[in-house]
Amino acid sequence: MADDCTKLREAGADIVFTPTEAVLFPVPQQVTVEPPPIAAELCGAFRPGHFRGVATIVLKLINIVQPKVAIFGKKDYQQLHVIRTMVSQLNVPVEIVGGETERALDGLALSSRNGYLQPDERVAAVRLVNNLQQIKRALQAGESWYDALEVRAKADLEANGWRVDYVAIRSQQTLAIPQQGDKALVVLAAAWLGQTRLIDNLEVSVST
């Protein structure tokens, strides 16, 4: 946390709010936010209850800080979607802004988790975004057999030692399986490289 605070100070932050668990949870949390059904898919299918916890703690933090704007990274695309849906459907008076994903020179999405990767794993890790890029190009070229694209990427990762939670082509707007004519898509993946779970995604605009 000291590291984070240093970076935040350098970035121009005046105030950092770092409540202890005792401040946030003076009594066991019995009131929770039930997220929308999409929270049970994608990452939610592998982490039951995860987005209920995320939605609840984010609502608490927003209610305490009462910010005009709150920024959440697009790298956790499903998290951003769940928070946007919660804010909209519970009429929370805050503007949610998605932050673009920062990437290393080879394309790997920056994440504190990357620090867990062994040196050889760090080199191999770029395969995740490379597969997403390949799907993006295929979609832009007019490919619409989503299942085949997903299966091929999954097979490529598994052939190279990854354990894949999912590779999925979804609608940006709903995170559901795209409908006919849906032009704003997102390709998402979550996969394990050794002991480290990596997630990434790419937004794709298709013309048809």
> Residue 194 — φ and ψ, nearest 5°?
60, -125
Encoded one letter per residue, x for contact with its own copies by CB under 8 A and - for no contact, window 2-21 reads --------------------
Contact between 36 and its own copies by CB under 8 A: the answer reads yes
Contact between 63 and its own copies by CB under 8 A: the answer reads yes
From the number of C-beta atoms within 10 Å of its C-beta (0-12, 13-18, 19+), residue 138 rates as buried
Encoded one letter per residue, x for contact with its own copies by CB under 8 A and - for no contact, window 72-91 reads -------------xx--xxx
Shortest CB 55 distance to its own copies, Å: 7
Shortest CB 46 distance to its own copies, Å: 21
> Residue 66 — φ and ψ, nearest 5°?
50, 55
User: Of the candidates 18, 20, 30, 195, which one interacts with its own copies according to CB under 8 A?
Assistant: 30
Q: How far is CA 154 from CA 38, 54, 93, 169, 203, in A?
A: 22, 27, 40, 12, 18
> Residue 37 — φ and ψ, nearest 5°?
-55, -30
List residues near its own copies by CB under 8 A: 27, 29-37, 55-56, 59-60, 63-64, 66, 85-86, 89-93
